[in-house]
Structure 1
Amino acid sequence: MQTEASVDAVCDRQTVVFFDLETTGLGKNCEIVQMAAVSGGHSLNLYTVPRCRMERGASKVTGLRVHRHRLYQGDQLVLTNTLREVLLSFIAFLKMLTRPLVVGHNIRRFDCPLLARALDELELRDEFDSAVSGCVDTLPLAREMLKDRCLRSFGQKNLVKELVGVNYKAHNALEDVRALQSLYAVLQPPPELIYRHKFTLDTMYTTTHTVTHTKGDAG
């Protein structure tokens, strides 16, 4: 059994990677379009052309659209990679940071299941699992930490505005992870709370915290 002191020691030296996806929609069969991660001054930002159509609402909020099997941000052509290349690059990024903790907002019921499905499809789950120490969702973590604050929303954009004092362009994965890194620095969750909210891709459905089922609270 880990003592409180050992939990503190592990969390104090834990590298954190902030992670986010933009997708073709909010349904269970939607696909990854953009993946971004940041840890300190290190960042990763990659795009891929999805196999399914982008929903109109997703294109409206992200500015991303597919035309003739090419991805555009507005009218600008976006450089893309295959989904396998995107996932392998993410795993390499994680390995560079020596089994970091992957942190994101509303990831347990949205981003992580999509990530797990893609990893399984391309037989990369074991590589990912060996590259990380676990995941933490800042949505339930923030709800627990800030339960006595009268906040109108625990969506990331509102939390960043209220706690960091910054408005930013949400629904761009790179901007989202940069903003989340700033928010996390302000929140400074204690090691014991991080440990209690920690999960893996195998245990993400067995935790008991109340979470939303879509990406809606992430923006």
Structure 2
Amino acid sequence: MQTSEAEDLSQLSLVFFDLETNGLSQRCEMVQLAAVSGVRCLNLYTVPRCPMEPGAARVTGFRVRRQKLYLHRRPVLTKTLREVLVSFITFLQALGRPLLVGHNIRRFDCRPLARALDETGLRASFESSISGCVDTLPLAREVLKECGLRSFKQEHLVREILGMDYKAHDALEDVRALQRLYHVLHPSPEVVSRHLFSLSVTQETTPEVATAHKGAGLLPGQRLLWQHVKQPVEDRVVAQDTP
């Protein structure tokens, strides 16, 4: 990408998004979709057609009983898959074709998203609502390549760089944390352009195994990276758009 084109990326809004799914297989289905852009927030749930895999249920706390979704044993208000996707597209359109940003989305989240869009006939509408996708997993590896990290799992990056823990495996908490992390990493437009891809690319690459999605562990006693990343984090108040 040319320098002028890379600089144009800095003018686009950013939407950080994440999915929780009913498993980690290639055919998994979304259960929760969350997105945040500054103070704008979207958080929606849907009942998957296939059962929750035991491992996914343990990690996320989601259960499905008699076609109703429960989170940590509490009933959750849900929408149909189409309603969730239409709400997401509306959210994106209000921000003027933003960049869609997420952690490890190229090999994981974008796959069930693309399948759902195809099944509901909303693929074209979705793709016309964004300027592209950016995966913060390889982006973080490039920005932090001199920091000696052994794991680039989002939880570990947030702990090492921001010095905080958060409720991981809840899509809304994941995107809130990722937005803060991204602003601290502060990648240049040139770096962002190197990790820009289209939704169609996710269906052309070999899926990554579940263990890679989870990330490798950090070395014991590894110190925080405050000295490597100096830009202060600006606390943001995020207003939740409940389903």
**TM-score normalized by the length of structure 1:** 0.93
1:4 aligned onto 2:16: no
Q: CA deviation at 1:3?
A: 3.4
- Which residues of structure 1 form unaligned runs of 5+? none
Give the corresponding residue for 1:41.
39
SS state at 2:23 partner: coil
Query: What are structure 2's unaligned runs of at least 5 residues?
Result: 218-243
Aligned partners of 1:172, 1:132: CA distance in 2, in Å?
24
Q: Distance in 2 between matches of 1:47 and 1:205?
A: 24
> Does structure 1 residue 69 correspond to structure 2 residue 35?
no
CA distance in 1, matches of 2:216, 2:122: 26
Deviations 1:18-68 (A, max 9, x none): 000000010011110000000000000000000001011111111110011
C-alpha contact 2:26 2:207 (8 A) present in aligned 1: no
Q: For 1:178-189, list aligned pairs within 5 A.
A: 178-189=176-187
Indicate the RMSD between aligned Cα atoms, in angstroms: 1.9
Partner residue in 2 for 1:177: 175
Query: Which structure 1 residue ranges, 4+ long, deviate > 6 Å from structure 2?
Result: none
- Please give the secondary structure, in 1, of the residue aligned with 2:100: strand
Equivalents in 1 of 2:76, 2:146: separation in Å?
Answer: 43
8 Å CA contact retained: 2:108, 2:207 = no
Deviation at 1:102, TM superposition (A): 0.2
Q: How big is the shift at 1:74?
A: 1.3
Map of 2:58 onto structure 1? 60
* Amino acid in the other structure paired with 2:2: T
Aligned residue pair count: 215
| Offset, 1:213 | 3.9
Equivalent residues in 2 for 1:1-219, closer than 5 Å:
3-8=2-7, 10-204=8-202, 212-214=208-210, 215-217=213-215
Counterpart CA distance in 2 for 1:6 and 1:153 is: 31
Q: Deviation of residue 202 (structure 1)?
A: 1.6
Check whether the contact 1:140–1:211 (CA below 8 A) recurs between aligned residues.
no
Deviates more, 1:138-147 or 1:168-177: 138-147
Tell me the TM-score normalized by structure 2.
0.84
User: 1 CA distance for matches of 2:2 and 2:134?
Assistant: 20
